[in-house]
Amino acid sequence: MTILLISVGVALTVSFICSLAEATLLSLTPSQVAELSEKRPLLGSIWRDFKARIDRPIAVILLLNTTAHTIGATVAGAQFDELYGDEWIWVFSIVLTIAMLQFTEILPKTLGVQFNRQLAPFLAVPLSAATRVAEPLIKVMHFFNKPFERRGGDRSARAVREEISALAAMARMSKDIDTHQERIIRGAARLSERRVREVMIPMAQVVTLSTAQSLSRAIIAAHLDAHTRFPVCVDGDRDRIAGYVNFKEMIYFMSTNPADPSLNGIIRPVHFVEPDRPATELMQVFLDEHKHIAIVRDGSGRSIGLVTLEDMMKELVGELGDEFDRLPKSVQALSGGTFMFGGGVSMNEVSAALGGALPPGPMTLAAWLEEQIGQTPAGGQTLRHGAVDILVRRVRRGRVFEASMTTMNAASGATAGGAAG
């Protein structure tokens, strides 16, 4: 009778603890593990390791649970048969099965999920010790299971990002945060998996100044592009970046130092970064060192792109949009038959203003000009299309921000009118 009670008690107890540990392990979220790590770093590190390699603790739990079930039921059944005979063994089997279901499956797993935060500190060390003891057996099981294991990226990191996004969505639906706050949270999670090359502006679209330029010419070149900060190249070589200048300082320096009209006195040091670095690292540099731009260089030292603080913030909150970010849709008639068009104006409006001198269409002026030029537009660039002379006045991030157009008929008419007068 003693052996019967002991075998049943041990089987139920071991299975209860195993199911409790399994439910706790599977229900603990990354945020709960992080909370535990802040309060109790050692226990937190154990649970982080469990979640990162979850197959190891699961293997130990299932091994102990199955062993307890099998051996316990076998020994208990044999003892009951010896004590009471075969005729009542079916009753014992039914009672033991119900007890196993209730006290080793349903109850412990319910408790494990409901009280996972409270149970995690108590289960960490025993489960870690059991995992170390069973390490040889785990390696054998891992060898046989390896062909069926998923290959790919960091599933743990992906799970954290997915949980952050899900929590943000739940908070928005429960009115705890608004849509904009949700977008920021999702953007922060998304930024952690992006590389610098994914957020940079290609160097072909970057307007640079040169140390060979006079300050006045540099101001004119900078004025044609609606930006505040400009990289400065040594003698026009884009792979030799001396630093960057601020447009406001250029204007101030021009007025206060007319005897030294060069960029050398106002060039600031610029940060260089590799294209494969995490975008979050560059964001931290911008914040810690109060920098606003960085030049992206590849392994050979070639400049391949530019990243600004504004670009990083766009990754977090979406399009910020200052007065130069959104292409204007203005149409302004000037003297002499000249019109000033914003890059966001449709070609239908441009054609109507010019009396049909250019083909109409839904395409924006900026897109049409880029198609006509065949490359990234530059400020000051001129072209002729039929009877229309076009001047690209300003460019923003490789797109025409503003352009002036004059029809030859209007220009000649204005000249003739002036001569007649």
Q: What is the pLDDT of residues 257-313, one digit of tens each?
A: 766 667 887 889 999 999 999 998 999 999 888 888 999 999 898 999 999 888 888
Q: For residue range 107-131, list pLDDT tens digits in order.
A: 999 999 999 999 999 999 999 999 9
Range list of H helices, 115-178: 116-133, 135-145, 155-173
Q: Is the pLDDT of residue 199 over 60?
A: yes
pLDDT at residue 215 tops 90 = no
Check if the beta carbon of residue 400 is closer than 8 Å to that of residue 343.
yes
Q: In this predicted structure, what is the pLDDT of residue 417?
A: 46
> Cα separation of 349 and 343, whole Å?
12
Section 306-331 average pLDDT: 73
Ordered by start, the domain boundaries in the chain are 2-149, 157-185, 197-317, 331-420
Q: What pLDDT is recorded for position 145?
A: 75
Q: What share of the chain is helix, strand, coil (3-state, %, to 5)?
A: 60, 15, 25
Average pLDDT along the chain: 84
pLDDT of 90 > 90? The answer is no
Residue 420 has pLDDT above 50, yes or no: no
Number of H helices, E strands in the chain: 18, 12
Give the rounded percent of residues in the chain with a pLDDT score beyond 90: 24
- Reported as a pLDDT band with limits 50, 70 and 90, residue 415 is very low
State the pLDDT at residue 272: 94
Indicate the angle between helix axes 30-39 and 116-133, nearest 10 degrees.
90
pLDDT at 20: 92
- What is d(CA 191, CA 201) in angstroms, rounded to the nearest whole number? 16
HEC string of 230-250 equals EEEEECCEEEEEEEEEEHHHH
* Sign of the CA dihedral with 258 first, then 260, 262, and 265 last: negative
Closest by Cα among 242, 228, 219, 251 to 308: 228
Q: Give the model's pLDDT for residue 205.
A: 80
Fold of 197-317: CBS-domain (3.10.580)
Q: Is 115 exposed, middle or buried (0-12, 13-18, 19+ CB in 10 A)?
A: middle
**C-alpha–C-alpha distance, residues 343 and 400, integer Å:** 5
Nearest CA to 213 among 188, 185, 250, 179? 250
Q: Which residues pair with 394 in a beta bridge?
A: 402
**What was the pLDDT predicted at 81?**
78
Give yes or no for a contact between 370 and 360, defined as CB atoms under 8 angstroms apart: no
Whether the Cβ atoms of residue 183 and residue 164 lie closer than 8 Å to each other: no
pLDDT at 77: 82
Tens digit of each residue's pLDDT (9 = 90 or more) over 145-185? 777 765 544 555 666 677 777 878 888 888 888 888 888 88
Residue 408 has pLDDT above 70, yes or no: yes
Distance CA 265, CA 287 (A): 25
Q: Which tokens belong to 168?
A: 């943000």
Question: Distance (Å, rounded) from C-alpha 304 to C-alpha 298?
Answer: 7
pLDDT band at 418 (very low <50, low <70, confident <90, very high): very low
pLDDT of residue 380: 78
Residue 287 to residue 115: CA distance in whole angstroms: 40
Task: Write the DSSP symbol of residue 393.
Answer: E
CA 221, CA 250: separation in Å to the nearest integer?
A: 12
* CA gap 220, 391 in Å, rounded: 15
User: Cα separation of 73 and 97, whole Å?
Assistant: 9
* Main-chain phi, psi angles of 399, to 5 degrees: -120, 145
pLDDT at 412 over 60: no
Predicted local confidence at residue 260, as pLDDT: 64
Average pLDDT of the segment spanning 197-217: 86
Q: At residue 345, does pLDDT exceed 90?
A: yes
pLDDT digits (tens, 9 = 90+) for 17-34: 999 999 999 888 877 888
Report how far apart the first and last C-alpha atoms of the chain are (Å, whole number). Answer: 128
Judged against a pLDDT cut of 70, whether residue 324 lies above it is answered with no
Q: Which CATH class is domain 331-420?
A: alpha beta
Q: b/e string for 201-229 if b means 16 or more Cβ within 10 A?
A: bebebbbbbbbebebeebbebbebbbbbb
Across 355-371, average pLDDT: 91
